[in-house]
Copies of this chain bind each other. A is one copy, B any other.
Amino acid sequence: MIIRDRPSGFRLFLMLRGSVLPRILPALTINIIIATLVTLSHGDLFELKITLTTIPFTLIGLPISIFLGFRNNAAYDRFWEARKLWGELVLKSRNLSRQCRSLIQDPRPAVASNGTGDIRIRMVYRTIAFAHALKNLLRNQDNGKEFQQWLTAQELTESGRFRNKPDFLMQCMGADLQRCLQEKRIDSCLAANIDNTLSALTSAAAACERIRNTPIPFSYTLLLHRTAYIYCFLLPFGLVDSIGFMTPFVVAVVAYTFFGLDALGDEIEEPFGTESNDLPLDAICRAIEIDLRESIHDTHIPPAMLPVNYCLT
């Protein structure tokens, strides 16, 4: 995610970091070259005058624009829903920590120094691991040390058998909740609340997987790409008779808008990647880790992540 203030004045046009320009540069360049050639030949193609006026572009520009708007809405909704789900993870993690510490009875205070022998500490550590495991699942990354350090040796071994690590952690939490119930360390009404929080975490995780696994129907994307490309590549023929040598410049602006919106839609449609407009999952996982470890008075807590080169991953 790009974190920077809006630049003022001409710097607005010069900055590249955070711009979609590098991504669409090849298509844009080809388009401008075509526009220049068309301008130089006054719209003749192999001795044949292409009799396009701006009228077809007015007619077709409308549905393309509305359609681009529709797709950007859909893509942004996915992005924002994904962000909400991770916000949900943050808060349900905090809630789970609070509930474990205040609703499970234990003579000792719930502090990190009790170690993983204390069921409450184990629950908190597993919640941190849950966030990391989900992030790695969504990004197709391996579960490294940041995930493994929160598990006991036995859990680590057992986890290998499971395709879906976050689901495995939920199973462990369910088992520990059962243990608390059997040892009468929690009343069933309050256990129901903790069970609800576990369900909410599962729910957020499953919804993230849904967004990741179900793109916007491919035919939409294809139809939009095709019409936008045809529109921009034909545009010089329509403009050259009325605006002459300004054609390549105008085509560049139009193509920048259409290709840019199209590419941005592509990018935020899949919000869990590591591109510059994707969600900063690393930073969110770190925030969960800090909140939860603070709540159990843990030590050696790492600082919050800061943007590197305006970009938070």
Residue A192 contacts which of B56, B167, B192 (CB distance < 8 angstroms)? B192
Contact yes or no, B246 A174, CB < 8 A: no
Smallest CB–CB gap between A284 and chain B, Å?
A: 9
Interface residues of A (CB under 8 A from B): 1-4, 6, 12-13, 15, 18-20, 50-70, 72-74, 76, 79-80, 83-84, 86-88, 90-91, 94-95, 98-99, 101-103, 105, 161-164, 167, 170-171, 174-175, 177-178, 181-182, 187-193, 195-199, 202-203, 205-207, 209-210, 214-215, 217-223, 225-227, 229-230, 235, 239, 242-246, 250, 253-254, 256-258, 260-261, 264, 266-268, 276-277, 279, 290-291, 294-295, 304
Known: A67-B69, A217-B1. A98 touches B174 (CB 8 A): yes
Contact yes or no, B253 A60, CB < 8 A: yes
Known: A1-B218, A187-B188. 12 other contacts (CB 8 A): A59-B61, A62-B62, A63-B64, A67-B72, A70-B73, A74-B76, A88-B206, A167-B294, A171-B295, A189-B189, A219-B276, A219-B277
Copies of this chain present in the complex amount to: 5
Contact yes or no, B56 A162, CB < 8 A: no
Interface of chain A: mostly helix, strand, loop or mixed: helix
Smallest CB–CB gap between A154 and chain B, Å?
A: 14
Known: A52-B246, A87-B207, A217-B79. A223 touches B102 (CB 8 A): no
Smallest CB–CB gap between A307 and chain B, Å?
A: 11
Instruction: List, in ascending order, chain B residues with CB within 8 A of A196's CB.
Output: 193
Listed by A's residue number, 29 A-B pairs whose Cβ atoms lie within 8 Å are A1-B218, A2-B217, A2-B218, A13-B226, A18-B219, A18-B222, A51-B246, A54-B58, A59-B61, A61-B62, A63-B64, A67-B68, A67-B257, A86-B210, A91-B199, A91-B205, A95-B199, A95-B203, A101-B171, A101-B175, A102-B174, A102-B177, A103-B195, A163-B290, A188-B190, A217-B264, A217-B277, A219-B276, A227-B256
